A and B are shown apart, each in its own frame.
Chain A
């Protein structure tokens, strides 16, 4: 709605006008803020989205499929919502937190006991952080299983991987800040893992002039031990560097979603009968036929098709199968966001974030366990620090990044598991992986590994032949086998990804529940030797 110029009326005195203006101010203010008033047509709704700084990241119209729960499970939105929660709770925490080894722990106590609702805010922050890691992982799995990484979305997949790594880094850097035993020893473990390339360089005898591991550790800690330097670094990374990087890549991520043609969807979603499109899927249109007739033809055309090269959904297709983003998409996003917030608050209200005793470099935790999302890796680290902590995760992350460039098959994009065959392959892979991983764990726990059988064996052999690498090799062979039998790179990729995901889940469970002091096997924590 455009602003109406009010004609000068001599009958009205300035005083009257003043009071009328005063009364009108809220409405005027709203109008100036939203500028369009309540949108009464699809076009107006589009315009509302388009002209709003915050909303214009959304397209004015969305494909109806994208709004279905099964299309995304809402994981991206939830992750973003959690990120906002983290920023919102992080700032008050930052106000009270003192990043100094002498004061950090005490400031945690202050937050717990004296800062108004400090404990609550910290709990929410902590739950949001863990939730975000989980949701980002699930989001990635969703994207993979629905082939969302395929052209033209290859690069956005890469950006997604970067965001995944940034999420883990944010979570891990935040882990140290309470400066309690849990934090201290988890980060110590982490820094040992960073140093683990020494395992290889030592074996090759080149550590003295090519100490990658030592460099990495010093880069992370700024010292030989976790101390003030490490705390300063972690704090800066946690509150400034990583959130900034996160914001930038998030922006790129969202920008690319739009530019790459919105969310991925199966080809079948566009082949719906046109009858359904503009009548039933436009809420406003159905609600208000009068307006619909008045606004049937757009007064303005947007040359979006000219901006993006290649196959963009808008180029050769009309606005068929789309619905206005306002209100459909916005309500969905708002509902999801509020639900996430509410659940996070509930968790934060009922479950306290842990705070163990003050970090004490002289009293090692036993077992010193990393945060849960690294526990699968820690299990691999227990076989070989370099392989489990550096090589395998690097291979997995880099490998995943390159998946879009290795698997370029075009069929069944947007379909979960690429159809029934893929679903079967995934199921088989999951069962196969479970068998391999569980079998390997049973074997290792009962019979040990090379070092047990021949104590004098050079470490380099164990570095390259350990349960982790053996599993990696088996999964790779399995994937190649699937690729060969199905004659499809997509099926091979599905098999490999399922293997990784399943192995991650099992290893994480195993390391969480069944590993105790000295990384020995126990059926449950109650069987641990008491300390």
Chain B
């Protein structure tokens, strides 16, 4: 080794040692002298010195050091105060940053020694260099929040800005889902206006229709519960200008969703810049409650009024079904999935999928809910089922389990959707007598004849309306109820578009099939000489003024007895002693009622009871029957004044409530005693008769005398009784109370009877097989007990429904109590929302298949898998839709959509026969034979069958 080498080595050694020292010194120098914060602190120290001098106080030395707030609870160390030295020094309010005092009074409630800075402002609290501390550096996920954005941090501790408030968070998951309340929606923190506006925008724009927040909401879009916790790292900024912050991304996304995320399902909300900023701010505020409980104030108790159905609809439904329920165009989630670009090119399989999907419409029309036709046939149960369970293979999810709505809220939604139906006609003005049959006929032919036949003869879908037995016992109330509210789960829609005039016209038209054949004057005339045998009534001439007198001699007890035996014995007994119907050989009745009363009762019946209207009886027949009744009369008829009494109805009501209501019901709707508020009864009976009955009672019944001195139930004065009568008169216009019912039967006994006699036609649970469904709540709601009784006793002519009485040529003889038991059984599940359902019987699916191919496949697709019309081959749909729903839709079509009417009255594409429609329905059902709509599964209540 040469000396030069050694020298060189020594030089290298010296040089590198010097360099080593230099860098060590540089590092030390930088550490101790040039740090950024030292400048700020010495400037502050100088200011303090100046202030101290000017105020004459001795200056306190201000050491230069790293200052920090150590927040044990928050697991944070904030060194912001190293540079922002004067945040709590009010003398520096005008100073420039970083020496400025904290603005506002926030520090009063959030002292910096307890809260630090970064919990609100974000940024990197541990850093001591401005660029790093403010966090606008790569790899720092929470950069400093500027301006109003700082309020997005409030939700780290506070609940006020939360959509659901703190209620649902209080008890964790143990607590069942509660409804959102109005108060929660309205609450907000002071200053945080942008957050509050954003919160309301989430509701108004229907964001939760696709996005889930705290377990509630749709699932097309990502869950937004903690979207504020996402860092810029989680977003794709390829199409976003400006700094890569979450706020910028969200803003750009809200302004133009597809520009930021091509092929996103997110619709363009047409937001202004300000709105987009507010919405972005609200999204960022959706963070975990990251602060410990000690920092988190208890949420204020807000009112627990559930938000209105309308708000719920806007929040969850409007994004797809439109703000006003008329439907909207949304992107097809399935198609969009394949058109979302992937990073770094795409594989061949995706390309081939695209080729398959190229014809698929990328935008879908969501159904309009605000459609009279839809709402007319969609029962509440249908709506409830669809909302609760959703529809598979579509964007409609089950809002109960998947969407997180409570049952209350689903009910509110159903109620809100129902509000889109036209207002129901005023029922008190509905009456056949007010209607114009010709107009009614036109309405009938246009709307009803498709199912019920042009002349009411009925078909496979609609029942016969023309049957005399039916018309005799059905009340106007029941018909009006059925027309206006429909019969849920059958093909009978609710005709809410009809006003009271229309309904009255239709009723008049229906009633015109069974004209009144008797005439009160004629009957009274004939009865004036009851002992004569009837002459040739056929020869009478209405124009002959003398005929009245001649026919008056026609009333014949013998003919009356024949008529009585054939028609009245089933209810009133062999000799009028009463069975199901009241006793009519009672002297207290016969002696106080005039012939007018008897006539009107026979021909108008007693709606709400089993007494049919015998409109088909001629004057002679009526007079014969009345003559028979009079033949049972042993006491002379009392001479009673025909005048109306004038009492005090208010006093009468008090008396009625005290004395009569216990038997006749609080509204005189009838209970143990008969119904008094019956319009026909009140039209028929005169005041004197009523006064008699009240005063002296009706021997042989529970009706006791009430006149003073009669040892009855009460000591009423004459004027008091007049008051009661006046009160009863005032009940003439009373709204019919839901199906007049007696409730005397015992349902378990009825179950046994039902199983013995009714099961074969009406199905094991009354859901209907060949016979109609008779445990259908809508039917039971409309039908009075009397209607049921009369139908059971008399049968329904023209149908397979037999009389349940030997007298009525029935095969069995039911006692009055047994009929009550049967009715009690039928009504035993009336309040259930999930109801049984009648299926199309005896249809031929193979024929339906051919018809489907011709008429339906063009739009609904070959397998019902949907073309541009909705998918029918969908278990969710088939589960929700009853056969009646399908029938009605096929017959009537759906206005406002491409679905045309296919029924014979429908001006549609085809005049399909009702059996063809049933075939199609049966074919559609075949797609998911195991899916039965809304089927009830519970067993018979009460006793099980012991006779099989």
Q: Do A and B come from one complex?
A: yes
B499 within 8 Å of A by Cβ? no
- On chain B, the residues within 8 Å of A117 by CB distance are 27-28, 31
Q: Mark B610-634, 1 if CB is under 8 A from A, else 0.
A: 0000000000000000000000000
Query: A356 contacts B139, CB within 8 Å?
Result: yes
Query: A114 contacts B128, CB within 8 Å?
Result: yes
B943 within 8 Å of A by Cβ? no
Please, how many angstroms separate the alpha-carbon atoms of A518 and B344 in the complex? Answer: 8
B521 within 8 Å of A by Cβ? no
Please, how many angstroms separate the alpha-carbon atoms of A355 and B137 in the complex? Answer: 11
From B17, B129, B141, B343, contact of A342 by CB (8 A): B17
- On chain A, the residues within 8 Å of B109 by CB distance are none
Which of B231-239, B394-402, B714-722 contacts its partner? Answer: B231-239
Q: List 16 A-B contacts (CB under 8 A).
A: A106-B126, A113-B126, A114-B126, A117-B28, A180-B139, A283-B3, A328-B1, A328-B5, A331-B13, A332-B9, A335-B12, A349-B26, A357-B140, A366-B343, A517-B343, A529-B344
Q: Which of B9, B10, B79, B238 has the most CB of A within 10 A?
A: B9
A513 within 8 Å of B by Cβ? no
Please, how many angstroms separate the alpha-carbon atoms of A283 and B12 in the complex? Answer: 18
A281 within 8 Å of B by Cβ? yes
Q: Which of A64, A280, A349 has the most CB of B within 10 A?
A: A349
- On chain A, the residues within 8 Å of B682 by CB distance are none
With A283-B3, A338-B17 given, is the CB distance from A109 to B126 under 8 Å? yes
A110 within 8 Å of B by Cβ? yes
Query: B6 contacts A283, CB within 8 Å?
Result: yes
B465 within 8 Å of A by Cβ? no
- On chain B, the residues within 8 Å of A349 by CB distance are 23, 26-27
Chain B: CB-nearest residue to A529:
B343
Chain A: CB-nearest residue to B10:
A331
Tell me the B86-143 residues at the A interface (CB within 8 Å).
124, 126-129, 132, 138-141
Tell me the B200-257 residues at the A interface (CB within 8 Å).
231, 233-234, 236-238
- On chain A, the residues within 8 Å of B10 by CB distance are 331, 335
Tell me the B331-355 residues at the A interface (CB within 8 Å).
343-345
Please, how many angstroms separate the alpha-carbon atoms of A440 and B462 in the complex? Answer: 78
A520 within 8 Å of B by Cβ? yes
With A283-B6, A334-B13, A531-B233 given, is the CB distance from A520 to B26 under 8 Å? no
Task: Report the minimal beta-carbon distance from A368 to chain B, rounded to whole angstroms.
Answer: 13
Task: Report the minimal beta-carbon distance from B371 to chain A, rounded to whole angstroms.
Answer: 45
B20 within 8 Å of A by Cβ? yes
Query: A328 contacts B233, CB within 8 Å?
Result: no
- On chain B, the residues within 8 Å of A212 by CB distance are none
Please, how many angstroms separate the alpha-carbon atoms of A139 and B138 in the complex? Answer: 36
Query: B9 contacts A345, CB within 8 Å?
Result: no
Please, how many angstroms separate the alpha-carbon atoms of A517 and B344 in the complex? Answer: 8
Task: Report the minimal beta-carbon distance from B537 to chain A, rounded to whole angstroms.
Answer: 96
- On chain B, the residues within 8 Å of A342 by CB distance are 15-17, 19-20, 23
B2 within 8 Å of A by Cβ? yes
A275 within 8 Å of B by Cβ? no
Please, how many angstroms separate the alpha-carbon atoms of A117 and B32 in the complex? Answer: 9
- On chain B, the residues within 8 Å of A48 by CB distance are none
B66 within 8 Å of A by Cβ? yes
Chain B: CB-nearest residue to A336:
B12
A166 within 8 Å of B by Cβ? no
With A114-B128, A283-B1, A520-B344 given, is the CB distance from A345 to B236 under 8 Å? no
Interface size on A, residues (CB 8 A): 50
Chain B: CB-nearest residue to A286:
B3
Q: Mark B137-158, 1 if CB is under 8 A from A, else 0.
A: 0111100000000000000000
Query: A338 contacts B20, CB within 8 Å?
Result: yes
Chain A: CB-nearest residue to B18:
A342
Q: A340-B16, A341-B16 are in contact. List 6 more A-B contacts (CB 8 A).
A: A120-B27, A280-B2, A283-B1, A342-B20, A343-B16, A354-B139
Query: A339 contacts B1, CB within 8 Å?
Result: no
- On chain A, the residues within 8 Å of B77 by CB distance are 106
- On chain A, the residues within 8 Å of B231 by CB distance are 357, 363
Query: A113 contacts B23, CB within 8 Å?
Result: no
Please, how many angstroms separate the alpha-carbon atoms of A113 and B20 in the complex? Answer: 23
Please, how many angstroms separate the alpha-carbon atoms of A322 and B722 in the complex? Answer: 147
Task: Report the minimal beta-carbon distance from A433 to chain B, rounded to whole angstroms.
Answer: 28
Task: Report the minimal beta-carbon distance from B287 to chain A, rounded to whole angstroms.
Answer: 15
Query: B13 contacts A64, CB within 8 Å?
Result: no
A327 within 8 Å of B by Cβ? yes
Q: Which of B24, B27, B236 has the most CB of A within 10 A?
A: B27
Task: Report the minimal beta-carbon distance from A105 to chain B, rounded to whole angstroms.
Answer: 10
Tell me the B875-920 residues at the A interface (CB within 8 Å).
none
Please, how many angstroms separate the alpha-carbon atoms of A240 and B454 in the complex? Answer: 99
Please, how many angstroms separate the alpha-carbon atoms of A153 and B345 in the complex? Answer: 53
User: Which residues does B use to contact A, with CB under 8 Å?
Assistant: 1-3, 5-6, 9-10, 12-13, 15-17, 19-20, 23-24, 26-28, 31, 66, 77, 79, 124, 126-129, 132, 138-141, 231, 233-234, 236-238, 343-345
Query: A339 contacts B16, CB within 8 Å?
Result: yes
With A113-B128, A517-B344, A529-B344 given, is the CB distance from A345 to B19 under 8 Å? yes
Task: Report the minimal beta-carbon distance from A18 to chain B, rounded to whole angstroms.
Answer: 37
Task: Report the minimal beta-carbon distance from B940 to chain A, rounded to whole angstroms.
Answer: 54
Chain B: CB-nearest residue to A530:
B238
A176 within 8 Å of B by Cβ? no
Task: Report the minimal beta-carbon distance from A366 to chain B, rounded to whole angstroms.
Answer: 8
Query: A345 contacts B343, CB within 8 Å?
Result: no
With A356-B139, A520-B344 given, is the CB distance from A110 to B126 under 8 Å? yes
- On chain B, the residues within 8 Å of A113 by CB distance are 79, 126-129, 132
Query: B24 contacts A516, CB within 8 Å?
Result: no
Please, how many angstroms separate the alpha-carbon atoms of A281 and B10 in the complex? Answer: 17
Chain B: CB-nearest residue to A330:
B9
- On chain B, the residues within 8 Å of A335 by CB distance are 9-10, 12-13, 16
From B1, B6, B66, B141, contact of A114 by CB (8 A): B66
- On chain B, the residues within 8 Å of A346 by CB distance are 19, 23
- On chain B, the residues within 8 Å of A323 by CB distance are 1
Task: Report the minimal beta-carbon distance from B516 to chain A, rounded to whole angstroms.
Answer: 81
A116 within 8 Å of B by Cβ? yes
- On chain A, the residues within 8 Å of B238 by CB distance are 529-530
- On chain A, the residues within 8 Å of B237 by CB distance are 530-531
Q: Mark A345-378, 1 if CB is under 8 A from B, else 0.
A: 1101100001111100001001000000000000
- On chain B, the residues within 8 Å of A520 by CB distance are 343-345
Please, how many angstroms separate the alpha-carbon atoms of A287 and B6 in the complex? Answer: 13
From A339, A341, A357, A363, contact of B139 by CB (8 A): A357
Please, how many angstroms separate the alpha-carbon atoms of A518 and B66 in the complex? Answer: 43
Chain B: CB-nearest residue to A340:
B16
- On chain B, the residues within 8 Å of A331 by CB distance are 6, 9-10, 13
Chain A: CB-nearest residue to B20:
A342
Query: B31 contacts A345, CB within 8 Å?
Result: no
Task: Report the minimal beta-carbon distance from B932 to chain A, rounded to whole angstroms.
Answer: 43
A438 within 8 Å of B by Cβ? no
- Which 8 A-B pairs rank lowest in CB-CB distance, beginning with the nearest? A342-B19, A520-B344, A345-B23, A338-B16, A342-B16, A335-B13, A335-B12, A339-B16
Query: A281 contacts B233, CB within 8 Å?
Result: no
Task: Report the minimal beta-carbon distance from A450 to chain B, rounded to whole angstroms.
Answer: 15
- On chain B, the residues within 8 Å of A356 by CB distance are 138-139
Task: Report the minimal beta-carbon distance from B854 to chain A, rounded to whole angstroms.
Answer: 44
Please, how many angstroms separate the alpha-carbon atoms of A339 and B237 in the complex? Answer: 45
Task: Report the minimal beta-carbon distance from B33 to chain A, rounded to whole angstroms.
Answer: 13
From A116, A341, A357, A529, contact of B31 by CB (8 A): A116
Please, how many angstroms separate the alpha-carbon atoms of A342 and B27 in the complex? Answer: 13
- On chain A, the residues within 8 Å of B1 by CB distance are 64, 67, 281, 283, 323, 328
- On chain B, the residues within 8 Å of A181 by CB distance are 139
Please, how many angstroms separate the alpha-carbon atoms of A109 and B140 in the complex? Answer: 11
Chain B: CB-nearest residue to A182:
B139
Chain A: CB-nearest residue to B141:
A357
Please, how many angstroms separate the alpha-carbon atoms of A516 and B345 in the complex? Answer: 13
- On chain B, the residues within 8 Å of A336 by CB distance are 12
Chain A: CB-nearest residue to B128:
A113
Please, how many angstroms separate the alpha-carbon atoms of A112 and B129 in the complex? Answer: 10
